[in-house]
Amino acid sequence: MLEEIREQPAALERTLKAATRDVERLRRRLRDNAPKLIVLAARGTSDNAAQFGRYLLEITTGIPVALAAPSIFTLYRAGIGLKDALVVGISQSGESTDTNLVIERAREAGAVTVGVTNSPTSTLARLPEHTFLVRAGKERSVAATKTYTGQLLMLYLLAYAVGAPIDPYRLHQLSEWVDAALRLESDISERAERYRFMEQTVVVGRGLNYSNALEMALKLMETCYVVAERFSSADFLHGPIAMVEASFPVFLFTPPGVTWPSLKEMLEKLERLGAETLVITDRGNQDARKLSSRSICLPAKIALKGQLTEDLYTPIPYIVPAQLFSACLASKKGHDPDRPRTLTKVTRTM
């Protein structure tokens, strides 16, 4: 898992360079016939990536985005009107049975279909009209890391293809920012020691980084066997915050920008409750470091003013410290993060 986390800068660059032709082909297809609806179908880590895609696409294109409920197709066999939709299947292996069925039914209904996968020989690479290949190389660890960031990158490119004003130069910077995040590995390993006996926690994010809250919690559950609840900061205030007591650990993704005011209020409330907070942020948000018990601060200013939204490019570099933390904590707890109990790399559901 750690080796694959470290491979991410090269994997992102490789993916970005190889994707140009496929992205431009879809962009030409949609130029005069933009979809009225975008549907994203995925499971597990890929579903967390889809959550990011929902925020990104709606923010940057104004097109409504829905997350598919695959059982509508697989169990209830309902017919859904998708003729004017863009339907995207996201799967690391490309062999997620229910995700693939959504794409198959969508194509039959006349939708424009796209597959995002790390496997060029998979079913998902063959089923849709357009295929976006994540060039992460073989992922051996059960816990997906480099394929998750590769999927987020592909969703930026998908947004660009649909007409979003995404800056390609900034996408090339992502690998640099991830490389900077990787330099924190030793510090993060030391910080993880404090949480060796943690059994339950909450992970909080909002907006574009809500998907990272989902993904960090998933990594803590599957590699460290920690009961990790995950919330947007808004939802957390609607009841679940009642579980917080003195020394309760809460992890938060806190970029500057439009989500920071609400996250700041949350941090202040958690501090009053005596919770132990750890924020993941960058050099552009010194206030987050001052307000939190502990922090992991990326050694770069990633949140950028002058973009559609200041935190537009933060999700990929921000997840890297969370991946490192989960892998290091698993080892300190005596678990093998590459072989979580009862899990396999490919999960097929209907």
End-of-domain residue from the set 166, 195, 211: 166
Residues 81 and 213 in one domain: no
Q: What six digits make up the tokens of 14? A: 């490789």
Residues 214 and 94 in one domain: no
What confidence score (pLDDT) does residue 347 get?
Answer: 55
Residues 126 and 203 in one domain: no
Residue 101, in any domain of the structure: yes
Cβ pair 112, 129 in contact under 8 A = yes
Residues 25 and 142 in one domain: yes
CB neighbours (10 Å) of residue 286?
Answer: 13
Average pLDDT rounded to a whole number, residues 316-324: 98
Name which of 59-63, 185-189, 331-335, 343-347 the model is least confident about: 343-347
What confidence score (pLDDT) does residue 342 get?
Answer: 61
Name which of 30-44, 59-73, 85-99, 228-242 the model is least confident about: 228-242
State pLDDT tens for residues 49-91: 999 999 999 999 999 999 999 898 888 988 889 999 999 999 9
What confidence score (pLDDT) does residue 222 get?
Answer: 95
Residue 349, in any domain of the structure: no
End-of-domain residue from the set 166, 193, 223: 166
| Confidence check: pLDDT of 308 > 90 | no
| C-alpha–C-alpha distance, residues 24 and 108, integer Å | 24
What confidence score (pLDDT) does residue 237 get?
Answer: 76
Residues 11 and 152 in one domain: yes
Reference 71, options 81, 82, 80; nearest CA is 80
| Confidence check: pLDDT of 217 > 80 | yes
| Confidence check: pLDDT of 346 > 70 | no
Name the pLDDT band for 348 (thresholds 50, 70, 90).
low
Strand order in the sheet with 294-298: 227-232, 200-205, 249-253, 276-282, 294-298
| Confidence check: pLDDT of 338 > 90 | no
Q: Residue 237 belongs to what domain range? A: 175-332
**Backbone phi, then psi, for 266, in 5-degree steps?**
-65, -45
Residue 149, in any domain of the structure: yes
Residues 142 and 288 in one domain: no
- Number of compact structural domains in the chain: 2
Residues 158 and 281 in one domain: no
| C-alpha–C-alpha distance, residues 197 and 84, integer Å | 51
Residues 76 and 159 in one domain: yes
Residues 162 and 19 in one domain: yes
State pLDDT tens for residues 105-157: 999 999 999 999 999 999 999 999 999 999 999 988 889 999 999 999 999 99
End-of-domain residue from the set 136, 166, 196: 166
Residues 36 and 87 in one domain: yes
Tell me the longest C-alpha to C-alpha distance in the chain.
57
Average pLDDT rounded to a whole number, residues 305-313: 88
What confidence score (pLDDT) does residue 239 get?
Answer: 78
| Confidence check: pLDDT of 344 > 60 | no
Residue 43, in any domain of the structure: yes
| C-alpha–C-alpha distance, residues 67 and 40, integer Å | 5
Instruction: Kindly report the CATH number assigned to the domain that includes residue 248.
Output: 3.40.50.10490
Residue 339, in any domain of the structure: no
Average pLDDT rounded to a whole number, residues 39-43: 96
What confidence score (pLDDT) does residue 112 get?
Answer: 97
DSSP string over 128-153? SSEEEE-------SSS--HHHHHHHH
**Backbone phi, then psi, for 107, in 5-degree steps?**
-65, -40
Average pLDDT rounded to a whole number, residues 212-226: 97
Residue 338, in any domain of the structure: no
Average pLDDT rounded to a whole number, residues 25-39: 94
| Confidence check: pLDDT of 350 > 80 | no
Residues 242 and 138 in one domain: no
What confidence score (pLDDT) does residue 218 get?
Answer: 97
Name which of 151-155, 335-339, 342-346 the model is least confident about: 342-346
Residue 340, in any domain of the structure: no
| Confidence check: pLDDT of 190 > 80 | yes
Residues 98 and 241 in one domain: no
State pLDDT tens for residues 198-216: 999 999 999 999 999 999 9
Q: What six digits make up the tokens of 36? A: 């009225």
Residue 345, in any domain of the structure: no
